[in-house]
Structure 1
Amino acid sequence: MSEHEGEREYPHHHDGPCDIEQRVKSLENLLIEKGLVDAAAMDELVDTYENRVGPRNGAQVVARAWTDPQYKQRLLADATSAIREMGYAGRQGEHMRVVENTEQVHNMVVCTLCSCYPWPVLGLPPTWYKASSYRARAVRKPHVALAEFGVILGRDVEVRVWDSTAEIRYLVLPKRPRGSENLSAEQLARLVTRDCMIGVALAMPVADLK
């Protein structure tokens, strides 16, 4: 699933909106009714942060790490500073850590308490990320949770689950796709989706690049 596609439901689980979501929606409707905000403009703003600006920023970070070994070292050592180098900083991104996927290790991110999420590089969190069903399954049965997203890993691959909090937020550095050695950083960034930077997907194969 790319960052340009619509929201997905966490497979086989359907949680209703939480109380805060209901209150936010009620407030939004009230503001629209009073003519204080434009519904189309608000939808566009949310879509921008959720599906375009945020994930695109993270994709640029990943693409640079794939092509610049020195930057990758800085990113893994001090993600907050390295991400800030590229101009991506601000609220919900003050304390970052990047974890790298390898042949032996696959990382995925969850927030077990609420929905802590790195806005500057991923935008707004998807609905399924906030669902209690995803939080529970990711912690208790990560291999099963990944399989439900279509990521099938070998039994020899260790899955590490990182709990995002108000103190620190995580970004997954996915494995670089095979056959991408001759691609530019711009082309590589197009292979990076929001979901692979959360760890519930792999980077797109080169064959899917259009």
Structure 2
Amino acid sequence: MNPTALLIQSMPVLLTGALLTIKFALLSMVFGLAAAVVLALMGISTSRSLVVISRIYVSVMRGTPLLVQIFVIYYGLPSLGISLDPTPAGVLALSANVAAYMSESMRGAILGIAQGQWLAAYSLGLTRIQTLRFIIGPQALRLAVPSLSNSLISLIKDTSLVSVITVTELLRSAQEVIAATYQPLPLYLTAAAIYWVLCMLLEGVQRVFERRLALPTRH
């Protein structure tokens, strides 16, 4: 089979895998962002214990390979009586991993807000939680958008790792077609091109958000 005919025939399978890749990344981003908010708040907490717990978590998740984390969750947890199907195991691993990176971005953004704004909020009678919610949080989110967007772009590529636990995302879809056609080069190149297109689209969305959230400049 010539490469053109091969790609035309395999494209529906690859696009289906790409759609699952997007769903995987978005789900992991949502759950990871929720966990990242908690970790970031723990990291700036007045409780020393919460700060230590958050730092240990971030250190472990950033200091160990994502592939190992996937294996621990999918193959290791059953020994403790916790068995997960490939899809939830993959989402859990990706969410837990990206949460560590995003929490540092959010913590840095929060700490980047001028201390005077905290003091001004307290002088108005706002509590620490109210200050975070209404004053500091919105500004920190604006600052963190570039880093959060980069995390999502990286997450798109990291989804390829869940193919090792039989999740039929883009890479796994390409491998299944390769197993039937024995033509790896055009299919791997096509899968790489689809990943690249997805990342480019997300970069475009990122630039739009950054322009809309940018502070007005004085002339």
Q: What TM-score do you get using the length of structure 2 for normalisation?
A: 0.32
- Which one has a bigger Cα radius of gyration? 2
Bigger fraction of residues in helix: 2
Q: What TM-score do you get using the length of structure 1 for normalisation?
A: 0.33
Bigger fraction of residues in strand: 1
